[in-house]
Structure 1
Amino acid sequence: MFGTEAIDLARIQFAFTVSFHIVFPAITIGLASYLAVLEGLWLKTRDDTYRNLYHFWSRIFAVNFGMGVVSGIVMAYQFGTHWSGFSAFSGSITGPLLTYEVLTAFFLEAGFLGVMLFGWDRVGRGLHFFATCMVAVGTIVSMFWILASNSWMQTPQGHEIIEGVVVPVDWFRVVFNPSFPYRLAHMALAAFLSTALFVAASAAWLLLGGRDAPEVRKMLSMALGMLVVIAPLQAVVGDLHGLNTLEHQPAKIAAIEGHWDNSGGEPTPLILFGWPDMAREETRHKLEIPALGSLLLRHSLEEQVPALKEFPPEDRPNATLVFWSFRLMVGLGILMILLGGLGGYLRRRGRVYGCRPFLRFALWMGPAGLVALLAGWFTTEVGRQPWVVYGLLRTQEAASSHGVLHLSLSLAAFVVVYLAVFGSGVAYMLRLVHQGPRGVDASPSGDSGQADAPARRLPAADHATL
């Protein structure tokens, strides 16, 4: 396929499927917690605004949850079909961790999801709220185990290698490996940010369409409140995560910085923009700030940051991709902080619900959380290359022995099926967003009044709005 090798196609296919999958759990995690907060506030205040919002977002949650489950199953199969070397080498660790996720998180979610979606007027209020909270807890637990497995691949410990196979000797150290706390916190905050931006964009869309209502205002207010707190906190956690990566994966940091050479003994500059050229071993057309790289990463004006030339060429990640994916993530993060700050300012001025330029900004920032999440994952996973299990198993050794033709056909099939299936699901979710919560007119003129009765619904959506 256009000169691409089989290993490259296997990586592209896994990247494609994981990119589709990760956006759905991220929204699921955030929406589950949001629904728990909404129902708790309704139980406390008996304000029907919270109840209407709960019913509205529970429909979107149901669709998103289903797509997350389906896309996750496909990924699990790829470990055996395309990455048999990885499964054989580290299955004794990754297998149990994924099993723990099923036995704890998935069973918890599946056990209470039906009560949450179908039991609003069939069980007591306390039991229904408990079910919603358990679903929210289940999403967090699922994230815990998945991040434990992936973090072990980044910073492996608590194992021995016996006859070429990883054998766990200390499960506490396996789970709580050096990068796990930082990556867990970073991912959780990313999920909450992605959801807050989605909710804010939905409210902005309705307000820009002239569909003002207490529910819409509450959506925007709660989302902006989340952004004001979480966006700056994410920057702090990201900095701590970067320092941890510097300690355990210095080649990744060198690629992120586009930094090639430490000759001269000068403190490392921060390269804002440029083009890392892997063939020429330099960053071309760079715009840099002297010594700032050392200050940010070493907290010193004397110590240098590791350079790519300190590592053999075969151990260097793709600096071009890592360099720009990291900057995309950081750039969007800055815009998130700006959006939250502007929202807080306009709220104090009493103009947040009527300032159309701000609402357009919030609307366009709707997908920013998910784009930043994907950029962060690309930075993490591509920056780990050429290792699947860092320092222990190379990507080339982890792949199954499939040919280019087989992988080309399977990749093409995945692209077609995913765009059709998940494209339809996303379109349906956006249609639900367009309808708005109960009580919000379906048109600016207010003459339809059918926002709570869409023409077609999923079965779960019908029961969720009772």
Structure 2
Amino acid sequence: MDTLLLSRIQFGANISFHILFPTITIALGWVLLWFKLRYNATGDFKWMEAYRFWVKVFALSFALGVVSGITMSFQFGTNWPGFMETVGNVAGPLLAYEVLTAFFLEAGFLGIMLFGFSRVPGWLHTFATFLVAFGTTLSAFWILVLNSWMHTPAGFELRDGVVHATDWLAIIFNPSMPYRLAHMLLASGLTVAFLIAGISALRLLFGDRSRSVAATLRFGAVMGAVLIPVQIFVGDMHGLNTLEHQPAKVAAMEGHWEQYPDGEGVPLVLFAVPNAETRDNDYEVKIPHLGSLVLTHSWDGTIPALDEFVAEDGTVTHPPVAPVFYSFRIMVATGVAMLLLSWTAVALMARRRGPDGARWSVEALPRWVLYAFVAMALSGWLAVLAGWYTTEIGRQPWLVHGVLSTAQAVAEVPAPMVLSTLVAYLAVYAVLTGAYVAVLVYLAWTATHGKSLPTRGGTADPVERAVETGARPGATTPAE
């Protein structure tokens, strides 16, 4: 493996690890705000219990996201100097906007959100939660503006091989930005929905029968059931936009090597083994015309074939087919599993009554549904990574589509040096990912089986005591 391939793998490994945690914090911040608003409106401590548990997950995810983001940004200079040399006039300001308007907002109010419940007025704590949630979304906005511009560059001109901005509105609101932003925000929402449902189901299996666990399990299932059809619709719109601006990527996603005769339409390939040597699919399972219907909304519609992106001298300008083909199907399969599980759970809760006769009771869920939610607690990660690989590998051989190729941007670093740092990164990330998952399980276990209350001056914090007992602050008995 040469320096180019190793550098691509290294950056891919870094961004794969990094994206896991913003995917959680983007949506979880808004979920925490909802829990806090419900507590403010009803005074029901189940919502504060939910807030106090999930804010720990938010803090853990935020910390890992910040650290992994720093190491990733270093690689712009160490591995990809050609990127900033060519497009730094656009990429630099967009990254600066993310730090100045989003990261500082999150970091500035995170402390109040984590530790200020009993130390600042209630309205200020709620406002801090809102600002942190808004900051995470604003951060996603600027990062996706830059990423979308790299796929569909606009509002610039080239001078002596260097990109210069001519229209910042066109840069920010480039042709693919609205679709990518909506798709990513919904992906974050689905990731959090299944994480909440999965951890809540785990606590239920551990024996936790608290009202907060029932509320969060029900919330996660309903949130997933609502968001997944919206994500399917947005994904379809995103696909149409990609077909317009990056047809080679869509051809690779579909394993569409050569054009079919007029009137035959494009089949939907359910499964195949793409063969780059024969430029065909082995073991292909397909449904005639369905690809045309999905991709063009026409029974006989056509899309460009991969053979159209091979020059006369044999130069290939389409992405590698196999990784794009497989990652796209993993993403879709995960989405279908999310749809089936969330809708099944909601239907069971709506139609069955719990032991107490109440509707929408999580006690109406069979144990296999709880185990399924636990198994799919991190399914959002799988879908996000598969979608990310589809998007980013599908952009090859371009780093900035039509402007800067990946080969032009890579640094002239010896391959063994890149390989050694890659191995180090992978080892650290494997340990951190395992530790993160272990902490989630630990939090679920300790929340179920109890823990000692924090104290100040030898007396338990009344808010902490209230959260543990279900009583209001200042009450003398749990019943109060």
TM-score scaled to structure 2, two decimals? 0.90
Summarize the alignment of residues 182-221 of structure 1 with structure 2, pairs less than 5 Å apart. Answer: 182-221=179-218
Matched, 1:272 2:270: yes
Summarize the alignment of residues 40-55 of structure 1 with structure 2, pairs less than 5 Å apart. Answer: 40-55=37-52
**1:376 is matched by which residue type in structure 2?**
G
Which residue of structure 2 lines up, in the alignment, with residue 245 of structure 1?
Answer: 242
Question: How far does residue 302 in structure 1 lie from its aligned partner after superposition?
Answer: 2.4
Question: How far does residue 308 in structure 1 lie from its aligned partner after superposition?
Answer: 0.4
Which residue of structure 2 lines up, in the alignment, with residue 450 of structure 1?
Answer: 451
Q: Distance in 2 between matches of 1:21 and 1:247?
A: 30
Q: Distance in 2 between matches of 1:38 and 1:202?
A: 16
Which residue of structure 1 lines up, in the alignment, with residue 253 of structure 2?
Answer: 256
Given that residues 260 and 266 in structure 2 are in contact (C-alpha distance below 8 angstroms), is that contact kept between their aligned partners in structure 1?
no
**1:350 is matched by which residue type in structure 2?**
R
Question: How far does residue 415 in structure 1 lie from its aligned partner after superposition?
Answer: 1.6
Q: Distance in 1 between matches of 2:427 and 2:34?
A: 38
Matched, 1:383 2:394: yes
Summarize the alignment of residues 7-406 of structure 1 with structure 2, pairs less than 5 Å apart. Answer: 7-265=4-262, 266-312=264-310, 313-348=315-350, 349-350=352-353, 352-353=362-363, 354-406=365-417
Report SS of the residue matched to 1:301. Answer: coil
Unmatched runs of 5 consecutive residues or more in structure 1 = 443-448, 454-461
Q: Distance in 2 between matches of 1:165 and 1:376?
A: 30
Q: Distance in 1 between matches of 2:429 and 2:437?
A: 11
Q: Distance in 2 between matches of 1:238 and 1:278?
A: 27
Question: For each residue in 1:312-351, what CA deviation from the matched residue of structure 2 results, as whole angstroms up to 9, or x when unmatched?
Answer: 1521111111011000000010111111111111111135
Report SS of the residue matched to 2:316. Answer: helix
Q: Distance in 1 between matches of 2:245 and 2:452?
A: 52
Question: How far does residue 451 in structure 1 lie from its aligned partner after superposition?
Answer: 7.6
TM-score scaled to structure 1, two decimals? 0.93
**2:306 is matched by which residue type in structure 1?**
L
Q: Distance in 1 between matches of 2:438 and 2:76?
A: 30
Q: Distance in 1 between matches of 2:306 and 2:345?
A: 41
Q: Distance in 2 between matches of 1:196 and 1:210?
A: 21
Given that residues 33 and 133 in structure 2 are in contact (C-alpha distance below 8 angstroms), is that contact kept between their aligned partners in structure 1?
yes
Given that residues 267 and 294 in structure 1 are in contact (C-alpha distance below 8 angstroms), is that contact kept between their aligned partners in structure 2?
yes
Q: Distance in 1 between matches of 2:283 and 2:71?
A: 41
Report SS of the residue matched to 1:276. Answer: strand
**1:261 is matched by which residue type in structure 2?**
E
Report SS of the residue matched to 1:142. Answer: helix
Given that residues 117 and 463 in structure 1 are in contact (C-alpha distance below 8 angstroms), is that contact kept between their aligned partners in structure 2?
no
Q: Between Structure 1 and Structure 2, whose CA radius of gyration is higher?
A: 2
Q: Distance in 1 between matches of 2:402 and 2:294?
A: 26
Which residue of structure 2 lines up, in the alignment, with residue 458 of structure 1?
Answer: none
Question: How far does residue 97 in structure 1 lie from its aligned partner after superposition?
Answer: 0.2
Q: Distance in 2 between matches of 1:252 and 1:463?
A: 53
Question: For each residue in 1:50-101, what CA deviation from the matched residue of structure 2 results, as whole angstroms up to 9, or x when unmatched?
Answer: 0111111111211111010000001111011100011101111011000000
Question: How far does residue 423 in structure 1 lie from its aligned partner after superposition?
Answer: 3.4
Report SS of the residue matched to 1:314. Answer: coil
Mean Cα deviation higher: 382-391 or 209-218: 209-218
Report SS of the residue matched to 1:315. Answer: coil
Q: Distance in 2 between matches of 1:364 and 1:420?
A: 21
Mean Cα deviation higher: 240-249 or 300-309: 300-309
Q: Distance in 2 between matches of 1:377 and 1:112?
A: 30
Q: Distance in 1 between matches of 2:168 and 2:464?
A: 43
Going from structure 1 to structure 2, the CA distance change for 1:62 and 1:377 (only over 3 Å counts) comes to same
Q: Distance in 2 between matches of 1:147 and 1:121?
A: 36
Question: How far does residue 422 in structure 1 lie from its aligned partner after superposition?
Answer: 4.5
Question: How far does residue 413 in structure 1 lie from its aligned partner after superposition?
Answer: 1.4
Q: Distance in 1 between matches of 2:64 and 2:426?
A: 16
Given that residues 67 and 422 in structure 1 are in contact (C-alpha distance below 8 angstroms), is that contact kept between their aligned partners in structure 2?
no
Q: Residue 430 of structure 2 is aligned with which of 419, 430, 450?
A: 419
Mean Cα deviation higher: 339-348 or 140-149: 339-348
Mean Cα deviation higher: 15-24 or 207-216: 207-216
Question: For each residue in 1:122-165, what CA deviation from the matched residue of structure 2 results, as whole angstroms up to 9, or x when unmatched?
Answer: 11000100000000000000000000000000000000000100
Q: Distance in 2 between matches of 1:399 and 1:430?
A: 40
Report SS of the residue matched to 2:158. Answer: strand
Given that residues 153 and 401 in structure 2 are in contact (C-alpha distance below 8 angstroms), is that contact kept between their aligned partners in structure 1?
yes
Given that residues 435 and 451 in structure 1 are in contact (C-alpha distance below 8 angstroms), is that contact kept between their aligned partners in structure 2?
no
Given that residues 159 and 166 in structure 1 are in contact (C-alpha distance below 8 angstroms), is that contact kept between their aligned partners in structure 2?
yes
Given that residues 92 and 166 in structure 1 are in contact (C-alpha distance below 8 angstroms), is that contact kept between their aligned partners in structure 2?
yes
Going from structure 1 to structure 2, the CA distance change for 1:451 and 1:277 (only over 3 Å counts) comes to farther
Given that residues 293 and 305 in structure 1 are in contact (C-alpha distance below 8 angstroms), is that contact kept between their aligned partners in structure 2?
no
Q: Distance in 1 between matches of 2:201 and 2:391?
A: 32
Which residue of structure 2 lines up, in the alignment, with residue 456 of structure 1?
Answer: none
Given that residues 193 and 227 in structure 1 are in contact (C-alpha distance below 8 angstroms), is that contact kept between their aligned partners in structure 2?
yes
Q: Distance in 2 between matches of 1:231 and 1:360?
A: 20
Question: How far does residue 427 in structure 1 lie from its aligned partner after superposition?
Answer: 2.4
Question: How far does residue 263 in structure 1 lie from its aligned partner after superposition?
Answer: 4.2
Question: For each residue in 1:194-233, what CA deviation from the matched residue of structure 2 results, as whole angstroms up to 9, or x when unmatched?
Answer: 0110110011111122222101100101101101110111
Given that residues 206 and 445 in structure 2 are in contact (C-alpha distance below 8 angstroms), is that contact kept between their aligned partners in structure 1?
no
Question: How far does residue 291 in structure 1 lie from its aligned partner after superposition?
Answer: 0.7
Question: How far does residue 429 in structure 1 lie from its aligned partner after superposition?
Answer: 3.2
Unmatched runs of 5 consecutive residues or more in structure 2 = 355-361, 455-462, 469-480
Mean Cα deviation higher: 307-316 or 382-391: 307-316
Going from structure 1 to structure 2, the CA distance change for 1:109 and 1:206 (only over 3 Å counts) comes to same
Report SS of the residue matched to 1:304. Answer: coil
